[in-house]
Chain A
Amino acid sequence: MNIIIYISIVLISIGGFLSFVRFVKGPTAADRAIALDTLSVIGIAGLVLLAFLFQRYIYIDLALVYAVLGFIGIIVIARYIEKAL
């Protein structure tokens, strides 16, 4: 049963690495913002999986706060790209 959790964590880590590569070499600022959005969603899923694997309830709260802060950050970055801020 734990082997499936490990496989999922490896898949999510590879996804985070690919998204980070796009974050480093993206041509425009909007590409980097999209990669950052995907990275934050991947981080939320990874935190919830780690909370199940280590049986720590506090990581769920961490994932919730990270979701809220990532959303606000992406909205602010989008308004800045639009030159309306």
Chain B
Amino acid sequence: MDTLNNILTYVGLGFVLLGSIFLFLGALGIYRMPDLYNRLQAGTKASTLGAMSVVLGVGLMQPDWLIKLLVIIIFIGVSNPLSSHALARASYRSGIFPFFKKKIDAYEAEVEKEKMSAETHDPASKCGNK
């Protein structure tokens, strides 16, 4: 039992160190990247992995707290991609475009089509996008 606890403690320390390195790299990407979409990519993906890894490492070191920490991990894994998606959609629709020249933009036609249909078909649907 004692050796098992020792092994779990060392594995948890490894997870904590790995996760904090990922959190640092994500924040460095937030600081250094030239563009809003690059910052979004670096910031949300790396920081999601880093936070999940840190919380899992603490849960391995302290097995009494594991259930509530698993709730936190599941919530981070659900909510962080959602918020990044909402931010990317909002910033595209408010007219912020990528810094470099873009090659493929599949969302532009979609936005144009929505705008056209909202203008032509019925005027009441302009304010209906709640």
Could you tell me the distance in whole angstroms from the C-beta of A80 to the nearest C-beta in chain B? 8
Q: A82–B89 contact, CB under 8 A?
A: yes
Interface of B is mostly: helix
Residue of A nearest to B56 (CB): A48
Interface of A is mostly: helix
Residues of A within 8 A of B39 (CB): 22, 31, 34
Interface residues on B, range: 35 or more
Tally of A-B Cβ pairs under 8 angstroms:
158
Residues of A within 8 A of B82 (CB): 71, 75
C-alpha gap A8/B130 in the complex (Å): 42
User: Number of residues in A with C-beta < 8 Å to the partner?
Assistant: 48
Residue of A nearest to B43 (CB): A38
Which of A16, A67, A79 has the most CB atoms of chain B within a 10 A radius of its CB?
A: A67
Q: A41–B86 contact, CB under 8 A?
A: no
Residues of B within 8 A of A34 (CB): 30, 36, 39-40, 43-44, 87
Q: A82–B90 contact, CB under 8 A?
A: yes
Q: Is B115 in contact with chain A by the CB < 8 A criterion?
A: no
Q: B26–A15 contact, CB under 8 A?
A: yes
Interface residues of B, Cβ cutoff 8 Å to A = 9, 13, 16-17, 19-21, 23-24, 26-28, 30-31, 36, 39-40, 43-44, 47-48, 50-51, 54-55, 58, 61-62, 65, 68-69, 71-72, 75-76, 79-80, 82-84, 86-87, 89-91, 93-94, 96, 129-130
